[in-house]
Structure 1
Amino acid sequence: MNWQQACELPYYGGNDLGANWTRAQTVFKLWAPTASAVEVQLFATGTDGEPGAAALAVHAMQPAGQGVWSAAVPGDLQGVYYLYALQFPDGHQAVVVDPYARAAGANGQRGMVLDLDAAAPEGWQADARPQIPAHARAVWEVHVADFSADEHSGVPEAWRGTYLGFVPEDTTLDGDGRHPTCLNYLKGLGVSHVQLQPIFDYATVDETKPGGYNWGYDPLNYNVPEGSFSTDPYHGEVRVRECRAMIAALHRAGLGVVMDVVYNHTYHTDSWLERTVPGYWNRRWPDGRITNGSGCGNDLASERPMVRKYLVDSVLYWAREYHIDGFRFDLMALEDVETMNAIRAALDDLPGGREILMYGEPWTGGGTYLEGGARPADKRALGTLSDRIGFFCDDTRDAVKGNVFDAGNAGYVNGAPQAGYDVLHAVGAWRSGAHGFRPRQAMQVVQYVSAHDNYTLWDKLAAVARRPGYDTPDADLLAQNRMAAGICLTCQGLPFLQAGEEFGRTKHGDHNSYQGPLAANRLDWQRAHRPEFAALTAFYRGMLAIRRAFPRLSGAAGEPEPFLLALPGWLIGFVPETEGNDPVGQLAVYYNPEPTRQWVTLPSGTWRRLCDGVHAGAAPFGPLCRDALELEPRSVTVLLAE
């Protein structure tokens, strides 16, 4: 199917695709314009291997216009499982799970009719997104299983590694009552949002067997929560209820929830989507070969009208029915600009929707072919992409700690101070256009030094320093770690942290642990409370407090780039702009990448420290200083004028 043929298929603009339940009947609707016949098959269970498994009925679906097939089945079908069986004019047949399914049985092989109200945890109707000022935003990324799987997490054993691992509010290390873990820990860290690695139903973990692990970038059913994170994968309503309970618990703690979404590809090239309308959903080269810009075998053709609609509908569904506070787009450059802008506009139309975050990776995993003049949503498209769609800045990441694809390559904080040229531009959120892209506002830039991909920050620093002892709280690595965090948390933009970065998280040199084991990926809550790493966490906590207390650091209100101070060598100093000439309340920030102490001249006025490179907090400490100051080795220093 070529671009012209795809565009000639009828477009359906309704919002009722899927299984529309009422107590009196369920109306099934499927967009399948090239099918010659469609029927819906009903089952008692989600798999044939369960007690009571039986095929209940088959109902022919009728053409309803605009490529849609429809069937109204009387009676209360809540909890009934279903599939669509399609026939095509060329004689081939296909059986598919409804692309708009809201629940599913084990391993996502059958959709389930769902009464969403019946799948709500207690108090769900009162759940609301927390109100978080733009300048106070900071994202902490974690995998659901990693969060609470540790046997020392204090979470009840049956809930470890599940959605419910986020629910207890007072967990401590081995239940000692003194060292907070999981949600109890997060409440005091100072981040504003938790970004969850994929929580939609993915293909590579067998939900019926314990111990499976994958990061989840292998989509199966986009609108169904992953069953391996639930306490019961067989009954489709359980995963829905428990996923919502997790989100509600994070909201009660004042934390927003960002959902990592993978709309660029499906796990199977022969996905439910592609089976439903063969040749339509996957992007292809002009010679008919399926493109592989995702590196996973296929790309979804977001530029095609019904693919774009599907992506918009899916995001809106999660925002409405799960109260999601933000969306992180995997390989966002495989989506086209028009689709991304359509998603942004649709979210904006929701109550409070303008506060829902959107950002993504502005790159691909390989070549692709966008049709009809569509433009990829990468850094080169920032002039046409909504300025409230952000992007991960690999330029900041690599400048601070070294290139992620070369284990030994150093950055500004760990042996390559000449990378300070790029750090200078990172301070103002790259709005100078130095690398050929120009954000239109600071908060488009996601400032980070580690995420789930590649080495953890601690492991990267250890690799550059050639220190094999990943579990040793090496003083040099701790200083480099503090400095990397200090830079990200004083640059303008949206700060982003990999979970555990703040306590030297290690995967012992594994740079791609996407298949597990869980033992290598889980957060180590004992490590978090070892004195040297707990001190590192305290530094992060203090820097986050500074950022909240001094909004102008973020640039979220449209502040100009900071005023840079003239300093020798590769030292960097800057003063965030403020109104008026009164120095009282002004900030000055200094970066020293050298392994020795360095003297700097101070702006006029009297100053006290908010951060000295080791300790940080929103309350000034230490003696007054004026004229000049000696900076600690490999440090970030923040001063407040009094």
Structure 2
Amino acid sequence: MVSNKKRMTALLAIICLLFTVFPQMSIKAETGKTEVTIHYKEAAGNQKDWNLWVWADNLDGHVQPFTGEDEFGKVAHFTLDGTYERVGFIVRNDAWDKDGGDRWIEQIHDGKTEVWVMSGDDEVYYSEPSNEPAIKKASMDHFDEITVTTNVPMETKNAAIELSGADIKEVVPADGESSVTNKFKIKTKGKLDVRGTYKVKIQGYGEQAVEIGGIVRTKEFDRLYYYDGDDLGNTYSRYSTKFRLWAPTAKEAKLVVYERWDDQTGKEIPMKQGERGTWTAKLRGNQDGLLYTYKVKIGDKWNEAVDPYVRAASVNGLKGAVINLSKTDPKGWAKHKKPKLKNPEDSIIYELHVRDLSIQPESDIEQKGKFLGVTETGTKGPNGLPTGLDHIKSLGVTHVQFLPIYDYKTVDETKLDQPQYNWGYDPQNFNVPEGSYSTNPYDPAVRIKELKQMVQTLHGEGLRVVMDVVYNHMFDAVESNFHKLVPGYYYRYNEDGTFANGTGVGNDTASERKMMRKFIIDSSAYWAREYKLDGFRFDLMGIHDVDTMNLVRKELKRIDPTFIVHGEGWDLNTPLAADRKANQKNAEKMPGIAHFNDDIRDGLKGSVFIDQDKGFINGKANMEDRIKKGITAGLDYDKSQATYRDPEQVLTYVEAHDNHTLWDKLELTNPNASYEEKKQRHKLASSIILTSQGIPFLHAGQEFMRTKYGDHNSYKSPDSINQMDWKRNAEFAHEVDYMRGLIELRKQNAAFRMTTASDIKENIRFMDAPANMIAYTIDQRGKRKQEAQFFIAHNANNSAIEFTLPDKATWKVLVDGEHASAKPLYTIKGNQLVVPALSTVVLQRETSMKKRR
């Protein structure tokens, strides 16, 4: 495994990278300039060499120094290329110590803005804050505690402090020490009401209404307000539709109904208080297609938001829609059957973006960029080769895994005549399909029906469907429906009250809280049932907690015992106890949940964070032991570490949508290699993946050595970068056939997909081999005896290696570096073998008299 130091370096690199590139950070820029002036007052005792980290759309994050000082404090004045409606910044130093969290400038007029910020205060002021004593904030943090913050320190012992609506028990400094402070706690005699109205008044400082604070993140809050019903959202029937909203901190709630998606005002219908912090309403009659939102009064402010549980939405997801789901079922939907899957290890996953598959003109697909484009058959590309679905089916993979297909934020569904691209890791409405992939995003039912058609078609072609889910964050925490309806509850927070940011995109959802956990489980179950999906890939799964992931898996297995669950088990810096994180280190606590094995990925080709770093297949020495462990599914036989315990827990891969494609990595690490040499190295990597234990994972286009022309993060790059290149598919037809042969070899021989750690340990034997070469045998056993033996060699040297086989025998050659097949290519006799340079060789000999099927 990689050392902890290297893992931390990689983690810091990805977090910094994510800060600079994700679209959540700003609104799209046009040409022009944006002048920004930021005034910053640092706190006494908090004086460091502070600077700014600034970002905007189409502009990577960068360091911006303070260039002067005034009476308020430090000053930074700078100009950004492009005009922006929103600019983000962090006060930090070069060691990445931060003073506060992410701050946003959202008032920019005529390309200019000037703001003031203070240490310990995340608010952005658009005029210089007054130095007159005042209460900045009063927040209800526990059922008997209010935290008060002032702009000027005060002596709490002698201060005249009043609290309306409750009786004060005592006043204590927040730090528990000095009574001269600008932050203290008011302890109350009785229990506070989350819907109550309270005001703090301090002589000389004025008064401030008490807002909801950390109280919503307490265990007592969850105990009092957890709602375990199955009717959140809207419940439709022909005769009436019921609505139930969970909003325990709201003083009032309203259902707002609209006639059109672009209406600015709607009819407001008061909701009634229900049990456990819920609000209810009922509309009689057939409400199929009704557009609606919720409004809640939090303190003295009204917030309007889309129902988090809504299953259909208007264009751009701006309003929820009531939907008669039975009308969205395509013909034959109820009776169609899923392809069979005996064991998770039988899976071969093919990761695909809906738009990528069909958008190139040479795809011959009519419904370009759409769900329906995935369903088209009979399409031909250059040289008459199959494209689209026919191509995928011909490869022999078992699962197609789609990058996010739920409703995401950054593609404008009203402008689909204009080229727009995004991977979709910017969630908006979790239970609604993405409208840009439908033929009519204005009709809430169309996207649902067409997605079902896609799933049904894939099932009919023998392909199971995996959905990439992103419950770990939302596009914009503050503007999200979660935060508007129950502020402060659904996300994790740092000790200073700022949003946690282990995801690197501005917020982390709090899966450990009961109603967030319930939402993830409910949403997962809904997708699995309604769309008949076969698996989920959890984006940044390490942000979630172990208990939530186990409960998700339990529910999904109850729906479909063959359902597969896997995710990115990276160890991310979120405020959750280390032993509770759903990451690779805790894999043994999550049986039946698979993790991407980044150890074999980087071991094969080099670190994804260091462009020139090499691995086993591109020339790095002493990588044999690391690759051997990957070949055996990363298993820890002696259980000395908390890691994988079963091959179904491991996804073996060398490239995915993230980072450079393998071909582009080879262009960086081996720039002087010939075209043919790079192809051989590429084939060597793929052959190792497809002959290793665990679950193999392939990136769409890997079979024709996909390139993104050096773009390592193409989440919003144009189609010319991201599209499936069917011309390249024709050019690399021989290599595609090689991949097809490897897949068939794996599917036909259980030796390459053993189902237990004990089987792997018992049946795989590594042999002594020259440097930069791995050789081993696999015994394939039937019910009572050994049926066959396989010999596998991976030669990463630039020259052929002569090798002595374990026995003199007649060996069937299945893979020889140029060709791959489940059927013998030819036979060799004896015990001497020449393994070609940069190649994999697979041999088979039968060991029983009974003929194998």
**TM-score bucket of the superposed structures, by smaller chain:** over 0.9
Closer/same/farther in 2, CA of residues 467 and 151 from structure 1, 3 Å limit: farther
Write the deviation string for residues 132-182 of structure 1: whole angstroms up to 9, x where unpaired: 2334310000111101111111111xx1011011111211117x7x31000
User: What secondary structure, in the 3-state scheme, does the structure 2 residue paired with 1:572 have?
Assistant: strand
| Structure 1, 537-546 or 605-614: larger mean CA deviation | 605-614
CA contact (8 A) 2:521 2:555 kept: yes
Aligned identity (percent) is 39
- Equivalent in 636, 640, 650 of residue 445 of structure 1: 650
Aligned residues: 621
* Distance in 2 (alpha carbons) for counterparts of 1:572 and 1:116: 54
**Structure 2: runs of 5 or more not aligned:** 1-213, 847-853
Where do residues 506-517 of structure 1 align in structure 2 (5 Å cutoff)?
506-517=707-718
Letter in structure 1 aligned against 2:306: V
CA contact (8 A) 1:6 1:304 kept: no
* Distance in 2 (alpha carbons) for counterparts of 1:126 and 1:44: 36
Closer/same/farther in 2, CA of residues 11 and 164 from structure 1, 3 Å limit: same
Where do residues 136-155 of structure 1 align in structure 2 (5 Å cutoff)?
136-155=346-365
Write the deviation string for residues 420-470 of structure 1: whole angstroms up to 9, x where unpaired: 1200111111113699553111121100000000001111111111159xx
- Equivalent in 231, 240, 245 of residue 30 of structure 1: 245
Letter in structure 1 aligned against 2:231: D
1:427 aligns with 2:631: yes
- Report how far residue 632 of structure 1 moved: 0.6
| Structure 1, 569-578 or 405-414: larger mean CA deviation | 569-578
**Residue in structure 2 matched with residue 601 of structure 1 by the alignment:** 804
Which structure exhibits the higher relative contact order, with contacts defined as CA atoms closer than 8 Å and separated by 6 or more residues? 1
Where do residues 325-344 of structure 1 align in structure 2 (5 Å cutoff)?
325-344=534-553
* Distance in 2 (alpha carbons) for counterparts of 1:28 and 1:269: 24
* Distance in 1 (alpha carbons) for counterparts of 2:604 and 2:772: 13
- Report how far residue 582 of structure 1 moved: 7.5
Closer/same/farther in 2, CA of residues 10 and 538 from structure 1, 3 Å limit: same
User: What secondary structure, in the 3-state scheme, does the structure 1 residue paired with 2:617 have?
Assistant: coil
**Residue in structure 1 matched with residue 309 of structure 2 by the alignment:** 100
* Distance in 2 (alpha carbons) for counterparts of 1:485 and 1:289: 44
**Residue in structure 2 matched with residue 363 of structure 1 by the alignment:** 570
User: What secondary structure, in the 3-state scheme, does the structure 1 residue paired with 2:644 have?
Assistant: coil
Letter in structure 2 aligned against 1:547: R
- Report how far residue 264 of structure 1 moved: 0.5
**Residue in structure 2 matched with residue 21 of structure 1 by the alignment:** 236
| Structure 1, 310-319 or 209-218: larger mean CA deviation | 209-218
- Report how far residue 5 of structure 1 moved: 5.1
**Residue in structure 2 matched with residue 179 of structure 1 by the alignment:** 385
User: What secondary structure, in the 3-state scheme, does the structure 2 residue paired with 1:480 have?
Assistant: helix
Letter in structure 1 aligned against 2:249: T
Letter in structure 2 aligned against 1:563: R
Write the deviation string for residues 578-626 of structure 1: whole angstroms up to 9, x where unpaired: 3489876211111111010001111123212000011000001223222
- Report how far residue 130 of structure 1 moved: 1.1
1:479 aligns with 2:680: yes
- Report how far residue 112 of structure 1 moved: 0.4
Write the deviation string for residues 458-502 of structure 1: whole angstroms up to 9, x where unpaired: 11111111159xxxx810111011100010011100000110011
**Residue in structure 2 matched with residue 64 of structure 1 by the alignment:** 274
User: What secondary structure, in the 3-state scheme, does the structure 1 residue paired with 2:274 have?
Assistant: strand
Letter in structure 1 aligned against 2:395: L
**Structure 1: runs of 5 or more not aligned:** none
- Report how far residue 126 of structure 1 moved: 2.1
| Structure 1, 567-576 or 14-23: larger mean CA deviation | 567-576
User: What secondary structure, in the 3-state scheme, does the structure 1 residue paired with 2:580 have?
Assistant: coil
**Residue in structure 2 matched with residue 592 of structure 1 by the alignment:** 795
Closer/same/farther in 2, CA of residues 639 and 374 from structure 1, 3 Å limit: closer
* Distance in 1 (alpha carbons) for counterparts of 2:672 and 2:483: 48
**Residue in structure 1 matched with residue 421 of structure 2 by the alignment:** 213
Write the deviation string for residues 287-336 of structure 1: whole angstroms up to 9, x where unpaired: 21110011110000000001000000000000000011000011000000
* Distance in 2 (alpha carbons) for counterparts of 1:459 and 1:154: 27
**Residue in structure 1 matched with residue 403 of structure 2 by the alignment:** 197
* Distance in 2 (alpha carbons) for counterparts of 1:502 and 1:283: 41
**Residue in structure 1 matched with residue 845 of structure 2 by the alignment:** 641
- Equivalent in 724, 731, 750 of residue 551 of structure 1: 750
Letter in structure 2 aligned against 1:440: R
Letter in structure 2 aligned against 1:38: A
CA contact (8 A) 1:612 1:638 kept: yes
Letter in structure 1 aligned against 2:483: E
Greater fraction of residues in strand = 2
Where do residues 216-235 of structure 1 align in structure 2 (5 Å cutoff)?
216-235=424-443
User: What secondary structure, in the 3-state scheme, does the structure 1 residue paired with 2:410 have?
Assistant: coil
Where do residues 280-295 of structure 1 align in structure 2 (5 Å cutoff)?
280-295=489-504
Letter in structure 2 aligned against 1:599: E
**Residue in structure 1 matched with residue 817 of structure 2 by the alignment:** 613
User: What secondary structure, in the 3-state scheme, does the structure 2 residue paired with 1:548 have?
Assistant: helix
CA contact (8 A) 2:428 2:474 kept: yes
- Equivalent in 439, 446, 466 of residue 238 of structure 1: 446
TM-score, length-scaled by structure 2: 0.71
Letter in structure 2 aligned against 1:192: T
1:315 aligns with 2:524: yes
1:461 aligns with 2:660: no
CA contact (8 A) 2:779 2:786 kept: no
Write the deviation string for residues 48-80 of structure 1: whole angstroms up to 9, x where unpaired: 39xxxx83x332111121111111100111011
- Equivalent in 471, 488, 496 of residue 689 of structure 2: 488
* Distance in 1 (alpha carbons) for counterparts of 2:717 and 2:504: 19
Write the deviation string for residues 158-208 of structure 1: whole angstroms up to 9, x where unpaired: x1011011111211117x7x3100001111101100000000101111111
The RMSD of aligned alpha carbons is 1.8
1:398 aligns with 2:602: yes
- Equivalent in 757, 763, 767 of residue 565 of structure 1: 767
- Equivalent in 79, 84, 93 of residue 294 of structure 2: 84
Letter in structure 2 aligned against 1:200: Y
TM-score, length-scaled by structure 1: 0.94
Write the deviation string for residues 558-594 of structure 1: whole angstroms up to 9, x where unpaired: 5223111122323211112334898762111111110
CA contact (8 A) 2:780 2:787 kept: no
- Report how far residue 238 of structure 1 moved: 0.7
* Distance in 1 (alpha carbons) for counterparts of 2:385 and 2:754: 35
**Residue in structure 2 matched with residue 375 of structure 1 by the alignment:** 580
User: What secondary structure, in the 3-state scheme, does the structure 2 residue paired with 1:602 have?
Assistant: strand
User: What secondary structure, in the 3-state scheme, does the structure 2 residue paired with 1:588 have?
Assistant: strand
